[in-house]
Amino acid sequence: MSHPIAIEVPPPPLERRRRGTKKFRWRISTLAAPIAAYLFLFFIVPFGVILWYSFGFKPSLYGTHDNSVLSFDRYAEVFGNADFFAIFGKTLWISIFGAAVTLLIAYPVAYWMAKILTPRSRNIVLVLVLIPYWTNFLIRTLGWQIALNQNGFISRILQDLGLLNGPLEFLYTNQAVQLGVVYNYLPLMILPIYVTLEQLDWRLLEANSDLGGNAISGFLRVTLPLSMPGIGAGLMLVFVPLMGDYITPEILGGTKGTMVGQLVASQFKTAQNWALGSAMAITLMLFILAVVVVSTWILRLGVRIAKRANRIVLPELVIEGK
Amino acid sequence: MTTVGIESSQSGIPTQERRAPVKAGKVALWIWGIIGLLFLFFPVLVIIAYSFNSGNNLQIWEGFSLQPYLNAISRPDLLAPVGVSFRAATGSALLSAILGTFAGIALARSQKSRWLPALVGLLGLVMVTPEIVNAVSLLPWFVTLGKDMGFVIFNDGIVRLVVGHSLFSSAVVTFVVRARVAGLNPQLEEAAADLGANPLRRFIDVTLPLIAPAAVSGALLSFTLSLDNTVLSSFISVANSNSWPVYVWASVKSTLRPEIAAMSTLLLLFTILVLVIVALVLVRASKRTGGDDANLSSMLG
């Protein structure tokens, strides 16, 4: 039985097989059609809808939006509003400062994980970093609210130790929001830096010390430049959601608005002014997009400059080594 | 000490001077790393501790009690939102896994396409869009679809949550699967083709089993992302089908009871279980196919 079948079905000739592959390739790009349709329907179109709303106005006390007269007035309202500007500036400051502090805390942790720990304990620590990250964002923030409460245990301990005269007045301040965002986005900084450091070829550091470099020059000339992709990814991953954060300031910052996310939300939820809310949301999104594009560009430029600088430095090292 | 002396004479640099700061640096890194982990765990431990609070207000400790746990697993008003969350998470995991796996294969394999680079840009845009912007844009759109255009399916709370949660997750799954497909050995498929398998057979018998770990971990990741989603959910959810985070969010505005912490602790245990399963799936897959185990980190996308 097997013999005649083997003759009847020879391996497909080369030409036919190639054609088959070509046909497969054509089909393969259509595999992306469902996600494209989905994103069109639930990302592009809804965005188009709020873009449209942002050119309208709030018609009456109970109406949310009206597009019978189109104008840029809502954007003028956004940019002319001192409160919006103040909160936007505050948000930007919290985001930049938060991303910087997160980086300073995360880098040594990631370095410790990638360089000092053994591969086995490294995976355990990785899971330990992920567990708080996978705990509900809102619940984690509530944990801080409980701890930092005026009548919470930290307040009581500090008072018992005599370090504090009255109750702890930390919750519902900008500093509390700052602490909350640094905490909430820390894993998003640790992980990408860890991934780049883990893939780093540590023999380069040995080469540096063989060539007479010390630990500091090794870090500045080898480790730091090579971990730039991770740092860049981490800064993006922290900065972007931080700019739009709404939960952390609501829980730790109290009722007075501290961040733009709260302003956007309040226009839709309480003020019922969808036109103005849309204009704010679009302004926020365009701003974040601009930051992402510009900083990616700066980062690429920085890496290029660092590479060029290293190329000049290396021969000097050789001479020093001798 | 003597051996150290010999080593130092060989390298020409006094070892003690060179080693001492290195060792101090190592100790400092250990301390920093452990403090970092404690910092990460601090509020989680606070929630777990306060979940045993016998009082009525979560924030005010009164005494130890297991009552919050008994309440958490018996009160229907607490179980209903958890049920909604799980249904939405399952739907979102399936939708994201299907959309993302297909798109990931397409992005990794299709070379000559004009619109795929645009899709990559769009997926990037989805990932950098703040959740609040998605939330405020989806809310009016769902109302338009469901009420004005008559697609009543979009008046359903679960459908809304599934569609909304899959925006970010399907983009993440796409990139995870793309990385996996790009790392596959193309000779495996060529071998199948040489043995006479048609494209569909090749895909089902060779490609799909190889990318399954990425698709599965992507689906589980979407599941946990969906369980965590608060901002988007609180905007698009429909009365009577609030998800668990939306329920907690609403309680923040009124009173937080210890049951909420108890339920959160149970959900955390569940999440750890999922995390362990993901890790095992990835480790097994990397052993079988010889891939690198850095995939665990790619879970974040």
**Mean pLDDT of all residues in chain A?**
81
Q: How much is the pLDDT for B61?
A: 85
Task: Determine, for residues A289 and B128 on separate chains, whether the beta-carbon distance falls below 8 Å.
Answer: yes
* CA-CA-CA-CA torsion sign (B190, B193, B199, B202): negative
> Which domains, ranges and CATH numbers included, belong to chain A?
81-321 (1.10.3720.10)
Q: Is A76 helix (H, G, I), strand (E, B) or coil?
A: helix
Spell out the residues 6+ positions from residue B263 whose beta carbon is closer than 8 angstroms to its own: B72, B78, B82, B244
- Higher confidence at residue A75 or residue A320? A75
Q: pLDDT by residue (tens digit) across B147-168?
A: 888 888 888 889 999 999 999 9
Hey, is the C-beta of B37 within 8 angstroms of any chain A C-beta?
Answer: yes
Kindly state whether A145 is in contact with chain B, defined as any CB-CB distance less than 8 angstroms. Answer: yes
**Higher confidence at residue A35 or residue B10?**
A35
pLDDT at A225: 82
pLDDT at residue B17, as a whole number: 52
Q: Which residue would you say has higher pLDDT here, B60 or B95?
A: B95
Q: Do B93 and B277 touch, CB atoms closer than 8 A? A: no
Whether A290 has its CB under 8 Å from any CB of chain B: the answer is no
Which residues neighbour B116 within 8 Å (Cβ) at sequence distance 6 or greater?
A29, A32, B106, B107, B110
Interface of B with A in 169-228 (CB under 8 A): 170, 174, 193-196, 198-199, 202, 224, 227-228
Q: What is the pLDDT of residue B286?
A: 65
Q: Do B100 and A251 touch (CB under 8 A)?
A: no
Nearest to A28 among B99, B109, B144 (CB): B109
Mean pLDDT of A29-37: 89
Chain A within 8 Å of B137 (Cβ-Cβ)? yes
| pLDDT number for residue A14 | 47
Residues A186, B294: C-beta atoms closer than 8 Å: no
pLDDT at A185 (0 to 100): 93
pLDDT band at A106 (very low <50, low <70, confident <90, very high): very high
Residue of A nearest to B11 (CA): A210
CB spacing of A39 vs B123 below 8 angstroms = yes
Q: Name residue B246's amino acid.
A: V
Per-residue pLDDT at B99 exceeds 90? yes
Would the CB atoms of B59 and A146 count as touching at under 8 Å? yes
Mean pLDDT of B8-27: 60
CB spacing of B245 vs A111 below 8 angstroms: no
Q: What is the mean pLDDT of the segment spanning A195-203? A: 84
CB proximity B123 to A under 8 Å: yes
How many CB pairs below 8 Å do chains A and B form together?
Answer: 285
A110-123 per-position pLDDT tens digit: 999 998 888 888 88
DSSP bridge pairs for B64: B53
A207 in helix, strand or coil? Answer: helix
Q: What is the ipTM of this complex?
A: 0.81
The predicted structure's pLDDT at residue A26:
53
In this complex, do B130 and A153 lie within 8 Å of one another by their Cβ atoms?
no
The reported pLDDT for the residue numbered A35 is: 93
Helix spans in A227-259 (H) = 228-243, 247-252
Rounded distance between C-alpha atoms, residue B66 and residue B70, angstroms: 7
Residue A242 near residue A98, CB atoms below 8 Å: yes
**Measured between beta carbons, which residues in chain B are less than 8 angstroms from residue A32?**
102-103, 106-107, 110, 116, 119
CA pair distance B80, A272, nearest whole angstrom: 29
Contact A38 B170 (CB under 8 A): yes
pLDDT at A208 over 90: no
- The mean per-residue pLDDT over the stretch A29-51 comes to 92
- B20 pLDDT band (50/70/90 cuts)? low
Instruction: Quote the pLDDT of residue A236.
Output: 87
- Residue A219 pLDDT > 50: yes
A152: pLDDT confidence band, cut at 50, 70 and 90?
confident
What pLDDT shows up at residue A241? 87
DSSP B215: H
The phi and psi torsions of A66 (rounded to 5 degrees) equal: -150, 130
- A positions 148-167 inside 8 Å of B (CB): 149, 151-153
Asked whether the beta carbons of residue B40 and residue A187 sit closer than 8 angstroms, the reply is yes
Q: Among residues 62-101 of chain A, which lie with CB inside 8 Å of chain B?
A: none
Averaged pLDDT for residues A227-255? 87
> Band of the pLDDT at B289, cuts 50, 70, 90?
low
Give me the residue from B110, B136, B227 closest to A50, CB to CB.
Answer: B136
pLDDT surpasses 90 at A103: yes
Q: What is the pLDDT of residue A311?
A: 59
Q: Note whether B275 contacts A50, CB cutoff 8 Å.
A: no
Distance from the Cα of A81 to chain B's closest Cα (Å) equals 20
**CATH-assigned architecture of domain B75-298:** Orthogonal Bundle (1.10)
Cβ proximity of A129 and B40 under 8 Å: yes
Percent of chain A with pLDDT over 70: 86
A240 closest CB neighbour out of B128, B193, B252: B128
Q: How far apart are CA A184 and CA A136, in angstroms?
A: 10
Start-to-end Cα distance in chain A:
76
B94 touches chain A (CB under 8 A): no
Interface touch B294/A105, C-beta < 8 Å: no
* B33-88 residue pLDDT tens: 999 999 999 999 999 999 999 888 888 888 898 889 998 889 888 899 999 999 99
Which is more confidently placed, A11 or A135?
A: A135
How far is CA B214 from each of CA B179, B182, B185, rounded to the nearest angstrom?
9, 12, 15
Confidence tier at B192 by pLDDT (50, 70, 90): confident
Q: Which of A235-239, B142-146, B195-199, B227-231 has the lowest mean pLDDT?
A: B195-199
Ranges A157-166, B9-18, B121-130, B292-301, most confident: B121-130
Q: Cα separations (Å) of B296 from A185, A194, B55, B89, B217? A: 19, 12, 40, 21, 9
Torsion angles phi and psi, residue B45, rounded to 5: -65, -35
How would residue B4 be classed by pLDDT, with cut points 50, 70 and 90?
very low
Q: In chain B, what residues touch A35 (CB-CB under 8 Å)?
A: 99-100, 102-103, 119, 123, 170, 174
Segment among A248-262, B4-18, B152-166, B187-201 with least mean pLDDT: B4-18
Residue-level pLDDT at A253: 87
Q: A225 φ, ψ to 5°?
A: -60, -40
Give the tens place of pLDDT for each residue, A51-101.
Answer: 999 998 888 777 778 888 788 888 888 888 888 888 888 899 999 999 999
CA atoms of A46 and B125, how far apart (whole Å): 14
Q: Map out the domains of chain B as residue ranges.
A: 2-50, 75-298
Q: Which of A139, A247, A285 minimises the CB distance to B264?
A: A139
Which pLDDT score, from 0 to 100, does residue A316 have?
44
pLDDT of residue A194: 92
pLDDT of residue A302: 77
Mean pLDDT computed over A279-289: 91
pLDDT at B284 over 90: no
Which residues of chain A are within 8 Å of residue B256 when distances are taken between CB atoms?
142
